[in-house]
Structures are given as structure tokens and as C-alpha cells.
Amino acid sequence: QVQLVQSGAEVKKPGASVKVSCKASGNTVTSDYVHWVRQAPGQGLEWLGAIDPSGSRTYYAQKFQGRVTMTRDTSTSTVYMDLSSLTSQDTAIYYCAGEVGTVKYFQYWGQGSLVTVSS
């Protein structure tokens, strides 16, 4: 069973960038898409985007186009999500989630990484 382990909490100032990591333990995830989903305090889930198994193709929600970058290091089974030009509206828990093959749903999730944007 694959587990996703995410990096720890971050506190950033407005205008800065944050990079969150998501590392797979257990079986390799070379055939899995990895998605990023966030949840602001007391709010619902919001899909940010996804990266394909090879790391060569990314899919971003229109809302985050130009501000989010997802990358992948297949040698370490680690996926990264970089979000720039942060505002207080980006304060949220950021989850990575795995999609085995192209099944179009999120089968396993990381524990979440809290990103706080505050001056």
C-alpha cells in the first residue's frame, strides 16, 4: 500500500512562494498521477492540478494557471507543488493525492501540509 508523506507546516509572508513536497513510501508510484488539493480553514476542497507519472505533463486549474508549478523527481518518488505570489487567501491545508493509472479519482492521500500566509 502506497503512502504519501508530505513536508511540514510553513509560514510565509504575502508575495512569497512556498514549495510543498509529497514523497511516496511503500510501492513505487511510477504509474500514478499525483494531484494537489487544498482546503482553507473551515472551507471545502479545491483542486489545484495534477502531474503525470513521468513528470512531463501537468494539468492546472484555470484559477492557478501562472502561479502554480508541479514537478516530479522520479528517482526519489517525490512530487513538488510550488505556489507563488501568496496572499492570505492561500492559507490552507495542501494535500497530495494519488490516482493509479487514469482512473479519474483520488485513491490515496497524504496527511496534508498547513501553509499559513501572514505578514
Partner 1 sequence: QSALTQPASVSGSPGQSITISCTGTSSDIGSYNHVSWYQQHPGKAPKLMLYDVSNRPSGVSDRFSGSKSGNTASLTISGLQAEDEADYYCSSFKTTDTYVFGTGTKVTVL
Q: Which residues bind partner 1 (CB under 8 A)?
A: 35, 37, 44-47, 49-50, 59-63, 95, 97, 103-112
CB nearer to partner 1: pick between 50 and 79? 50
Sheet with 3-6: strands ordered across: 3-6, 18-25, 78-83, 68-73
Contacts of 111 (CB under 8 A, 6+ apart): 4, 5, 6
Q: Which is nearer to partner 1, 49 or 53 (CB)?
A: 49
- The CB-of-16 to partner 1 minimum distance in angstroms stands at 26
Minimum distance, C-beta of residue 15 to partner 1, in the bound complex (Å): 25
Q: Which is nearer to partner 1, 11 or 45 (CB)?
A: 45
Q: Helix, strand, or coil here: 63?
A: helix
Q: Are 97 and 37 in contact (CB under 8 A)?
A: yes
The least CB distance from residue 31 to partner 1, in Å, is 17
Nearest CB to partner 1, comparing residues 89 and 119 = 89
Tracing cell 503512502 back to the chain, one arrives at 3
